[in-house]
Amino acid sequence: MPEPRRPKYDETLGWEVPEPENWTSKHNKISRISDVKYDAAFSTATLTTGRHIVSFFVHKSKEALYLYLGVCCAEAARMNPAIEPPSDPNKTKPEEIIGWGLNCNWGCLMTFKSPHHVYWSGSMHKLTADGEGLREAAKGARVSMLVDMDKRSLAFKVHTSKAEGPWIDTGASLPAAVKPWVLTGEKDSVSLTIQPAADGIEVQPVPPPKERGVQVEVPRRADGSIDVEKFKVCGMKILSADEIPAKIREQFRERGMVFEGDTPLDESEARDDRGGEDHGETG
């Protein structure tokens, strides 16, 4: 597998950074010199028309642990870095999404509500050939985007020393103007190139969502514990209390879950567990 070629310096490109003390840059290359928190850098180029191949070449990265590469709404470059939007996906509106980028560590598409903060609820489908992140193959990797401003569409292609992936659509509907953009929490170094896109590029559609597992009714005994023998008929594995972290175990217990191996509460303990109130029948 041929490795991605290192790009040449492009004096026509530069970078805009809200906190310049955290970066060094020369033309199309930018390097972060601080790893205190997440920090964003924006290309001076703004794309409004035409079809473009926008490529990031990773010169340096610590397994791409905190590296995100993509495009964002041009106006988002003026957003205040100190304002962190809420991450509850149930409260997110489509118009709040301002950026689309590759989570280089996970290998998946992520959407963003601010170019300065990671929006964890925005994790989407995989963009790499093997479905894995760049990690140890981050250095020397090329992350390319097909930015079609005529159709307002976006696709990614990831090329590392291990594999060269296909073009994969993101399903994004881009705004009228976008900027290439980097978000990182490490001392990463990347360079940017922008070229006209050739005709005839084949792009794979957005992968269909994974099917959810089959839901089954949990068979229980009279004391509330799971009837293990009946449950095994469904082909399901019963986890013992020791196999689940204590904090999560207690959260399940608060919702009435009884684990295999648990000792059923006697009536006095049940009253104590309910705050000392007797909800049973009275004589």
- Regarding whether 191 and 71 lie in a shared domain, the answer is yes
The answer to whether residue 98 is domain-embedded is yes
Provide the domain limits for residue 243.
Answer: 228-273
- Regarding whether 20 and 151 lie in a shared domain, the answer is yes
- CATH number, domain of 115, equals 2.60.120.920
Most confident region among 6-15, 66-75, 249-258 by mean pLDDT: 66-75
d(CA 85, CA 82): 10
Residue-wise pLDDT tens digits, 66-85: 999 999 999 999 999 999 88
d(CA 276, CA 283): 18
- Regarding whether 235 and 138 lie in a shared domain, the answer is no
Residue-wise pLDDT tens digits, 174-226: 999 999 999 999 999 999 999 999 999 999 999 876 654 444 455 667 776 66
- Does pLDDT of 42 surpass 60? yes
What's the domain count of the chain?
Answer: 2
- Does pLDDT of 59 surpass 70? yes
Task: Please check whether residue 133 is in contact with residue 104, taking contact to mean a CB–CB distance below 8 angstroms.
Answer: yes
Q: Residue 21: phi, psi to the nearest 5?
A: -70, -15
- Does pLDDT of 124 surpass 60? yes
- Regarding whether 140 and 101 lie in a shared domain, the answer is yes
pLDDT at res. 117: 92
- Regarding whether 182 and 146 lie in a shared domain, the answer is yes
Among 219, 182, 174, CA closest to 73:
174
Task: Please check whether residue 41 is in contact with residue 31, taking contact to mean a CB–CB distance below 8 angstroms.
Answer: no
Supply the pTM of this predicted model. Answer: 0.72
Please give the span between the terminal C-alpha atoms of the chain, in angstroms, as a whole number: 80
